A and B are shown apart, each in its own frame.
Chain A
Amino acid sequence: MDATVNQINERKFCTACYTQVDQEDQFCNSCGYPLKGTEQEQERFMSVRNVKEIDLVEANIKIKRASYALYFIAGATVLMGLIMYGSSKTVEVKNDLLLINIILAAIYAGLGLWCRSKPLAAIISGASLYALVLILNAIVSPLTIVSGIIFKIFIIGYFIRGIKSAVEAEKLKKELNIG
């Protein structure tokens, strides 16, 4: 074969996942796309792939909701800090409380942002910090469990679904050979 033609044809990419493949490959070895299959086979492959892509979009929506829950907690923590700052009498205590709440809020918000690149780690960390704060408050003053219980249930629900979706999304990304 002519050397120049060979050079041009050398780089070939998979139609489905854009990985580089060899000229003689029958199937893409990263995603299984039938490179030399019939049009019908290729269409069937792409429709299965599309279903998985839709699943991935749905998983990402749930991850996004978990990140919104983290932002919400961050906001609520700042608000609580300000309320406590306003209501407590001793100067030392109120400064400490405000500082602690602001740093906590910053951690929640940071984890919320981190959901974009590493959702699993961000949501698990955020959920464990939230659980710790809930338990801590419940032990110091047991009545705090009841206050805003509906919000708490919703937030925990978003976290659990977020964690499940993050696990699912990682599996789908691997199967689709993206990210």
Chain B
Amino acid sequence: MDDLSLSPEPETPAGPHCINCDQTISAESRFCNHCGFAQPDHNAISNDEKLIAIKQIALFFLIDTVICCLATFIDFFKTLTWSVTIDITMAVSAVTFFLYNWQSTKVLLKWPGFSVIKLIAFCAVAAVGSIIVSFLVRWLNQSLFSKEFSYYSFYARHHYGEALMIFFVAVMPALFEELGFRGFLLQKLLQVADKKQAIFISAFMFAIMHISFISLFWLIPFGLLLAYVRVKENTIWYGVFIHFCFNFTSCLSEIYRLHHIYHY
């Protein structure tokens, strides 16, 4: 009785055929079961290409790491002009790597299956997550390291400090980190490793790049979420909006806190 259901159906001429003997084979066959000929895997990437991809990933990571370390640890770079220069350099690096791999990355700029409901849901989750995270970070900083930290105080000294902060903390990273990490980096990693590993590596690199020790605990899940959404939806735009909402909310809560609690 099982034999009947397993018998090959004659009405499947469009199914895969062996490239050697032209007999019908099943879609997942790696070898023809009639002549033993190895079937070409069209998605396969040679090991040499994979190693080149890894080198490119390493170069991108090293460039960004050096820039981030300089910006974080050298006092000389802690002026507004330098901070802007550094942000622009990182943006240029992300765009360069993205454009260099234009053939494989251009598809990510499209937005297939655009859904307003999904977008609003993602943004709401990001905003709520941001409030929870900024509360936790403040609590951790105070209890573990007994420190207060604020990035607004850096911009507050300047004219239009709030606008500057929103632009450089919310808009720029949302766009260029997504372009760099979820655009270029994740796309390259997918050529090298399977989906799960690629998502993890990109999230891990994204998290450690921020060189903020206390933030690792939320940056890794945040990176995993962004990478997962990007792989599932095959577009960087949801990520851009999630990232923007997340950073924007934390900017707003920072401004609110400083204005209403400390009367800045």
Contacts and interface: CB of A to CB of B under 8 A. Distances in A.
Contact of A167 (B36, B74, B192): B192
B148 interface: no
B38 interface: yes
A120 B193 contact: yes
Interface stretch (B63-71, B107-115, B116-124, B256-264): B63-71
Interface of A: 6, 10, 21-22, 25-32, 34, 37, 92, 96, 99-100, 103, 118, 120-121, 124-125, 128-129, 131-132, 135-136, 139-140, 163-164, 167-168, 170-171, 177
A28 B33 contact: yes
B17 to A, nearest CB: 13
14 contacts: A26-B36, A27-B35, A120-B197, A121-B198, A125-B201, A131-B65, A132-B209, A135-B62, A136-B69, A139-B70, A163-B54, A164-B51, A167-B54, A177-B30
Contacts of B208: 128-129, 132
Given A128-B204, A131-B62, A135-B65, A31 B30 contact: yes
Contacts of B201: 121, 124-125, 128
B226 to A, nearest CB: 17
Given A29-B30, A100-B213, A135-B65, 8 more contacts: A6-B3, A26-B34, A32-B36, A92-B145, A96-B144, A128-B58, A128-B208, A131-B61
The winner among B28, B36, B57 for most chain A CB atoms within 10 A is B36
Contacts of B216: 103
Nearest to B41: A174
- Identify whether the interface residues of B are mostly helix, strand, loop, or mixed: helix
Contacts of A136: 65, 69, 73, 211
Interface residues of B, number: 45
A177 B31 CA distance: 11
A22 B32 CA distance: 12
A135 B34 CA distance: 56
Given A121-B200, A125-B201, A25 B73 contact: no
A26 B208 CA distance: 52
Given A120-B193, A136-B211, A171-B47, A128 B33 contact: no
A29 B31 contact: yes
B82 to A, nearest CB: 15
A10 B47 contact: no
A149 to B, nearest CB: 18
Interface string B10-51: 000000000000000110111111111010000000010011
A119 B50 CA distance: 15
Contacts of A125: 200-201, 204-205
B109 to A, nearest CB: 26
B9 interface: no
B51 A167 contact: yes
A141 to B, nearest CB: 10
A30 B30 CA distance: 5
Contacts of B198: 121
A132 B211 contact: yes
A55 B155 CA distance: 57
A167 B50 contact: yes
Given A120-B197, A128-B208, A164-B51, A30 B31 contact: yes
B193 A29 contact: no
B211 A26 contact: no
Interface string B188-232: 000011001110110011001101010010000000000000000
Most chain B CB neighbours (cut-off 10 Å) among A32, A168, A170: A32
B205 A10 contact: no
B31 A31 contact: yes
